[in-house]
Amino acid sequence: MTNFKFVELFAGIGGFRLGLDAAGGNCVYTNEWDKYAVATYLNWFPASSVSTEDIRHVDAKTDIPSHDLLSAGFPCQPFSIAGVSKKKSLGRPHGFSDLEQGNLFFAICDIIAIRKPKIVFLENVKNLIGHDHGKTWQVILESLDLLGYEVKHAVINASSWVPQNRRRVFIVAFQRSYFDAEIMQEFTFPTRSEKGPDLSTILETESIDSKYMLTDNLWKYLQEYARKHKEKGNGFGFKLYKPTDTTGTLSARYYKDGAEILINQEGWRNPRRLTPDEAARLMGFNSEMAQSYGFDGKFPQVVSDMQAYKQFGNSVCPLVIAEIGQEISKILLAQQKLKLKLKSGKAIKG
């Protein structure tokens, strides 16, 4: 498998890093500004360094080394259904109008324009495509097109890899000046139609600390909250799962009450939250991946439970990234072979 150099922007805890490493990549630059995510990242990748500078202020010419692939899971809150709804209710701007987070896509474009990576690999919530009646999506496609890239995209559900329904839009854009047109057309996103593992595969088999069980008061509150919204015709409320199920999407707010994914427990009066280790496995940070980085069975938790839940809820599924990365690697290798063939042909003619 070919090796390629990549940078990881909005790195979080390294979801892109894990997947692209597995696909033969070599990370040469990492940027993440959340101090808790940086603590986890440096513990998991101790030989790395992380730039914590605001990506809008990074000097791409001097600070970011040459690379083949730029990866970024840029902040999704300005485009997510929940994020947009909340901001609308508060009268706040969302999407590209959100100056704090929404315009970070353009900061990525500025770096692309300067460093000109062969491939751009982005991830965001599925709602990005329909945000602002499709206008936001059109701006993204046109921006990458004007930068000289052929854009491919797909909405992929991680449920074929992990027991979680997690639909995300993935963008892979190829630099037209580097790739042959026919080779670019050979790229395909991985497709898995089969059902993935069920929840039992990620649940703890040992006894669970009682701190993850819902208190009587919290469980009563969640049931009452759900009842009130059901009467109004809304779908808000807790989600209860058994070991044979596939869960809904784990979000960064999970630490608040765990309501989106509660585990039904036999022999217990109340359900429980996932433990942080279970949340890790639900996202695809599994034992095999941990062992490949020298950890015994799991990635260590170096932050509080609250921060761990936020980190996993904000992450990408590295197993999905790895499969997309493998398809990208095939295209890079095909292009390299073509260039060598053309070069050798010229040499013979000369």
Share the mean pLDDT of the chain: 90
Lowest-pLDDT choice from 7-11, 195-199, 322-326? 195-199
How distant is the alpha carbon of residue 73 from its chain centre? 6
Mean pLDDT for the stretch of residues 228-252: 89
Q: 25 or 78, which is more confident?
A: 25
CA distance 46 to 213: 34
- Cα dihedral 60, 64, 70, 72 sign: negative
Fold held by 4-192+316-348:
Rossmann fold (3.40.50)
**How many Cα atoms are found within 13 Å in the side-chain-facing hemisphere of 244?**
0
Residue 109 among the catalytic residues: no
Per residue in 28-65, pLDDT (tens digit) is: 999 999 999 999 999 999 999 999 999 999 999 999 99
In the CATH scheme, what is the code of domain 199-313?
3.90.120.10
Predicted confidence (pLDDT) per residue in 23-35, tens digit: 999 999 999 999 9
Question: DSSP states of 77-107 as a string?
Answer: TTTSHHHHHHHHHTT---GGG-TTTTTHHHH
The whole-number pLDDT of residue 97 equals: 47
Using the CB atoms, write b or e for 248-279: b if 16+ within 10 Å.
ebbbbebbebbbbbbbeeeeeeebbbbbbbbb
Token pair 């042959």 in the structure block, residue: 180
The domain limits of the chain are 4-192+316-348, 199-313
Catalytic residue among 27, 76, 109, 317: 76
Q: Same CATH topology for 4-192+316-348 and 199-313?
A: no
Please write the tens of the pLDDT for every residue from 98-157. 445 447 899 999 999 999 999 999 999 998 998 888 888 999 999 999 999 999 999 999
Phi, psi for 278 (deg, rounded to 5): -70, -40
